[in-house]
């Protein structure tokens, strides 16, 4: 009986020692793992992006002058063969000048005809860089040469329109003019100035110096359309008659000059 008790005590000691040894091994392994284990890396907390900073547009100014780019004109007609027309925009962008090289009419014994008519259709595109504007023609000036014997006379006519490709269905600003008739005998340069009446419609003037006009549509793309005609009649078949719209070969002044006014749109 005493031997059994001794054996039981010895077995319990062995079990207790084994448990303690196993516990020590687990603690050692756990501590070693904790030392070599890499630190836990947490992802950064993403902050919401601030809204983009947009530049503040400059304040609207109704008095800001337009920055106009004028393209080369397209033209055709008996008074303006290819290569004979030049258009110029003044530095202050208030005057458009058209210069002609062969806008000339002749009648009399040298040509065998009693009358001559020359015409020219011109389109001038205008691109406004800094916004939308309206345009209005405020004056049209004609310059040229008249060499007329007794029995001859001449006059010039013009039709003008301002359109925009942005508003193809809007009726354009348009008007027609006719200069005073020059009657021979005369041999001199001539000058006619047509002054408008600022109104809400378009009008026609015959042998006068005033016409109605109005503002064009608001756009940054405008087209100036011009149809000019020079009419010469000569009943004197003993002498030649000649009339022209100014030539760039004989004068530095333009043949037809259009004074314009701009108004900025909101």
pLDDT of 32-69, one tens digit each? 555 555 555 565 665 666 666 555 544 445 567 788 88
pLDDT at residue number 196: 59
Q: How many domains does the chain have?
A: 1
Q: Is residue 155 part of a domain?
A: yes
Q: Is residue 247 part of a domain?
A: yes
Q: Give pLDDT tens digits for 165-210.
A: 888 777 666 667 777 789 999 999 888 877 655 443 333 333 344 4
Q: Is residue 37 part of a domain?
A: no
Q: Is residue 2 part of a domain?
A: no
| First CA to last CA distance, the chain | 118
Out of 131-140, 201-210, 250-259, the most confident range is 131-140
Task: Identify whether the C-beta of residue 230 lies closer than 8 Å to the C-beta of residue 119.
Answer: yes
* Closest listed residue to residue 103, CA positions, set 148, 71, 143, 151: 143
Q: Is residue 52 part of a domain?
A: no
pLDDT at residue number 108: 95
Taking all residues of the chain, what is their mean pLDDT, rounded to a whole number? 76
Rounded-to-integer distance, Cα 229 and Cα 129, Å: 33
Least confident of 74-78, 93-97, 120-124, 190-194: 190-194
- Which region, left, alpha or beta, applies to residue 93 given φ > 0 means left and ψ of -120 to 50 means alpha? left
Element (DSSP H or E) covering residue 154? strand 152-163
Residue 260 or residue 185, greater confidence: 185
The DSSP code sequence of 27-48 is HHHHHHHHHHSPPPPPPPPPPP
Determine the structural domain holding residue 109 and report its residue range.
Answer: 68-264
Q: Is residue 218 part of a domain?
A: yes
Q: Is residue 257 part of a domain?
A: yes
Q: Is residue 34 part of a domain?
A: no
Strands 182-183 and 152-163 come out as antiparallel
């Amino acid at each position: 009986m005493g031997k059994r008790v001794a054996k039981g005590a010895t077995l319990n000691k062995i079990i207790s020692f084994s448990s303690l040894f196993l516990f020590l091994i687990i603690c050692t392994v756990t501590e070693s793992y904790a030392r070599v284990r890499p630190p836990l890396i947490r992802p950064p907390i993403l902050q919401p992006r601030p809204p983009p900073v947009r530049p503040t547009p400059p304040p609207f100014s109704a008095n800001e002058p337009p920055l106009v780019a004028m393209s080369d004109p397209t033209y055709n007609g008996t008074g303006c063969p290819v290569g004979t027309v030049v258009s110029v925009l003044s530095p202050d962008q208030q005057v458009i000048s058209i210069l002609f090289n062969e806008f000339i009419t002749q009648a009399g014994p040298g040509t065998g005809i009693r009358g001559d008519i020359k015409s020219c259709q011109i389109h001038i595109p205008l691109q406004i860089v800094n916004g939308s504007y309206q345009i209005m023609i405020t004056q049209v000036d004609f310059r040229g040469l008249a060499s007329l014997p007794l029995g001859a006379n001449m006059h010039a006519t013009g039709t003008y329109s301002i359109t925009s490709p942005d508003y193809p269905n809007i009726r354009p600003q348009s008007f027609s003019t006719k200069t005073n008739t020059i009657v021979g005998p005369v041999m001199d340069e001539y000058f006619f100035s047509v002054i408008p009446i600022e109104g809400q419609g378009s009008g026609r003037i015959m042998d006068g110096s005033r016409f109605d006009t109005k503002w064009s549509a608001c756009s940054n793309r405008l087209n100036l359309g011009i149809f000019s005609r020079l009419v010469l009649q000569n009943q004197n078949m003993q002498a030649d008659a000649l009339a022209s719209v100014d030539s760039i070969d004989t004068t530095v002044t333009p043949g037809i000059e259009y004074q314009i006014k701009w108004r900025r749109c909101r």
